[in-house]
Chain A
Amino acid sequence: MTAQDVMVVSGTEPRNERALRRQARGEQGRLVALSVPAFFLVGALVLVPMGWLFWLSVYGSDGFTVENYTRLLHPAYKETLITTFELAFLVTGLCVLLGFPVAYMASQLGPRWASLVMLCVLFPFWTSLLVRTYAWLVLLQRRGVINSWLMDMGLIDTPLKLVHNFTGTTIGMVHIMLPFLVLPLYASMRTIDMDLMKAAANLGASPVRAFWGIYVPQTLSGLGAGVILVFVLSLGFYVTPALLGGGRVMMWAMQIERSMAVYGDWGAASALGVVLLVMTLGILWVLRRLTGASAGSGGH
């Protein structure tokens, strides 16, 4: 090596050090500035109303009170709570049973057919919730399409009670909730490397064992997201149970509405809202723990 091959860095201060550090600080500053509006929006639209809701539920005309909460211990509320959770569990379960095969099929099809299937899944979103609920009413009522068809076929003699009860509510809600389950499930199934199934077969797993041991565990993150979405939405559902339940299916959201519309009692309605929120968060936490322990670790 000759002398001129060696580069000598002279001076005591590394070059451009200050300017580069200033640049980095500037970038961070701009990042913070960009997220400020979002923080304000979240604060204004989420935190403030929720705080206000809570405030209303504990502060009445006579100052602080827990009356709004003690009233909820009444058996009627307990019954509503049970109905609400029953329906939410049932709807979620049925959505999983119906949605899993649909999502699986779509994930296995070529891109063109898959987008067609997903279009069909999304199609209901393009019509109003109210229209779809009334459509179910037409289909399911005593002299509706389904009952008259079954009777014409000679399969039944008297019309089935398909609507204005728990059954009708369940059918309508499953239909409305299904896309919320299929979409995240489909997304997670798309990312599963099907070579894993080949590997499982190669290692000696029958198709059934490979499905349960290798395939299903990898859908858990998507399935978990779909289940949570459907379950939480079902807990707070109002329109479909109100129309298809025929007054016989009392949901938590309907109690809130009644407190407001019938009694004009903001405190009672707020307390109901707070209880639903707290329970929803509690269930989310449990579900997260359950799916997180089995699928979330080291996930995508």
Chain B
Amino acid sequence: MKSSMTDAGATSVGPAAHAPDTEHSLPISVQSLVKSYGAFRALDNVSIDIRSGEFMTLLGPSGSGKTTLLMVLAGFVRPDSGSVTFGEREILLLPPHKRDIGMVFQNYALFPHMTVAENLAYPLKLRRAGKAEIRDRVERALDLVQLSGLGGRGIHELSGGQRQRVALARAVIFEPRILLMDEPLSALDKNLREQMQIEVRRLHEQLGITTVYVTHDQREALTMSDRIAVINDGRIQQVDEPRDLYEKPSTYFVANFIGETYSLPVEVSGSSVMLFGQPIKTPAPPEHGDRHQALILRPENLHVFEAEPDPGMNSMAGTVRQHVFQGDSIVTYLTVAGDREIAVRRQHRSDETLPAPGS
């Protein structure tokens, strides 16, 4: 069991995941970025530092401002104020075609009137590369995304996963030092998506390119990222490594958004925390003085006991309502304190018996 506090805390900065490598990647610094659409604040004074070579995921629900932030980095949305630097260079005033950053679009945005190889060659032609060099690099890029031999195909002849790979290859073929990805896997089915997650991650490790990845899928964010920035209502809620974000959410929003959670109201007086009138043990004393706070429970950290457990553990009495079989695990739904629902998840073993509903 683990408690979490209700108020927004300062974002913490973990240890560097990668050594800086400015030849292949650049750090990104975003300072006090503001973008309003009428009364709606899409970006509300956003500041974030992304390290060179880092895989940073912008995670948030739809309308949170994560895509707006990405579009500002790419140059497709003009903010009201703020600053964005790539390395030492202020880029906010540069048009998109002078920013020299790779981008993978949600719908791939492959040119339908060109073959796979022509799509890949397009950025190289714009950079006036020689014919032999283009052929060479297209070949290598196809290798990189495991599409060797498909250069002559039309875009319409490719499957969704193959288009995804072409889009990836096109975004990195001109060796940009920053790569932006806008929910690139959302159009793929679950199996392919998981396969591509690993592939994108592998590509990132191979190229060492600073990557900003936008998604609303928290599982995808946890799987792929060096660090995750959780965004809501145009504000950055927390920036942390996946594990810290999961285990030490600093705001109520983050706790609820990441993973499956149930919250129960607790009362704080001094250094003790009371749950339904019973004192409970917390790993750290509450940070804030507010009287009414919330206890966040994760189903996988709870256990159901039929008998009174060891008094050294935090426990509460509840009634089993239902067991739901999910293959690898079983989720038990219980009501506690009369009307509050919580859930307990445990590994499924075929030989065990479960407490009957109603007990």
Give A217 to B111 CA distance when docked, in angstroms: 10
Instruction: Contact check, A217 vs B126: say whether CB atoms are below 8 A apart.
Output: no
- Give every chain A residue within 8 A of B99 (Cβ-Cβ): 202
A269-300: which residues lie under 8 A (CB-CB) from chain B? 294-295, 297-298
- The answer on a CB contact under 8 Å between B96 and A198 is yes
Q: Which residues of B contact A199 (CB under 8 A)?
A: 103, 105, 109-111
- The chain B residue with its CB closest to the CB of A195 is B109
Bound: A196/B112 CA distance, A: 9
Main SS of the interface on chain A?
helix
- A108 at the A/B interface (Cβ < 8 Å)? no
Looking at the complex, which one of A196, A198, A214, A217 makes contact with B76 (CB distance below 8 Å)?
Answer: A198
Q: Does B61 contact A (CB under 8 A)?
A: no
- CB within 8 Å of A: which of B76-115? 76, 95-103, 105-107, 109-113
- CB <8 Å contact, A196 and B154: no
Asked whether, in the complex, the Cβ of A298 is within 8 Å of the Cβ of B103, the reply is no
Q: How far is the CB of A191 from chain B (nearest CB, A)?
A: 10
Q: Does A203 contact B (CB under 8 A)?
A: yes
Partner among B111, B157, B174 whose Cβ is within 8 Å of the Cβ of A196:
B111
Cβ of B95: which chain A residues have Cβ within 8 Å of it?
201
Query: Complex Cα distance A218/B110, Å?
Result: 12
Q: How far is the CA of A207 from the CA of B96 in the complex (A)?
A: 10
Which residues of chain A in 153-207 are interfacial with respect to chain B, using CB atoms and an 8 Å cutoff? 193, 195-196, 198-207
User: How many residues on chain B are close to A (CB under 8 Å)?
Assistant: 30
B76 pairs with A193, CB closer than 8 A:
no
| A196 near B109: Cβ-Cβ < 8 Å | yes
Complex Cα distance A214/B112, Å? 9
Q: Which residue of B lies closest to A221 (CB)?
A: B113
- Identify the interface centre among A205, A218, A297: most chain B CB within 10 Å of its CB: A205
- A195 to B170, Cβ gap below 8 A? no
- Known A297-B154, A298-B155; judge A201-B111 contact (CB<8 A): no
Q: Quick check: is A25 within 8 A (CB to CB) of the other chain?
A: no
**Residue in contact with B126 in the complex, picked from A193, A195, A203, CB distance below 8 Å:** A203
Option from B97, B113, B123 in Cβ contact (under 8 Å) with A218: B113
Give the complex CA separation of A202 and B97 in angstroms: 5
Residues of A with C-beta under 8 A to B113: 217-218, 294-295, 298
Q: Assuming A202-B97, A298-B156, is B174 touching A218 (CB within 8 A)?
A: no
CB within 8 Å of B: which of A47-63? none
- Given A199-B105, A297-B154, A298-B155, A205 and B111 contact (CB-CB distance below 8 Å): no
A176 to chain B minimum Cβ distance, whole angstroms, is 32
* A295 neighbours in B (Cβ, 8 Å): 113
Interface contact B112-A203, CB-CB below 8 Å: no
- A204's nearest neighbour on chain B, judged by CB, is B126
Q: Is the CB of A203 within 8 A of B170?
A: yes
Residue B258 CB within 8 A of the other chain? no
In the complex, the answer to whether A209 meets B103 with C-beta atoms within 8 Å is no
In the complex, how many angstroms separate the beta carbon of A1 from the nearest chain B beta carbon?
A: 16
Query: Contacts of A213 on B, CB cut-off 8 Å?
Result: 122
Quick check: is B349 within 8 A (CB to CB) of the other chain?
Answer: no
Q: How many angstroms from the CA of A199 to the CA of B96 in the assembled complex?
A: 10
Which residues does chain B contribute within 8 Å of A218, judged by CB atoms? 112-113
A214 and B97 in contact, given A203-B123, A203-B170 (Cβ under 8 angstroms): no
CA distance A298 to B119 in the complex (A): 15
Contact A202–B107 (Cβ < 8 Å): no
Bound Cα distance A209, B96 (Å): 13
Query: Which 8 pairs from chain A and chain B are nearest by CB?
Result: A199-B109, A203-B123, A201-B96, A195-B109, A204-B126, A298-B154, A201-B97, A202-B103
B residues contacting A by CB (< 8 A) are 74-76, 95-103, 105-107, 109-113, 122-123, 126-127, 154-157, 170, 174
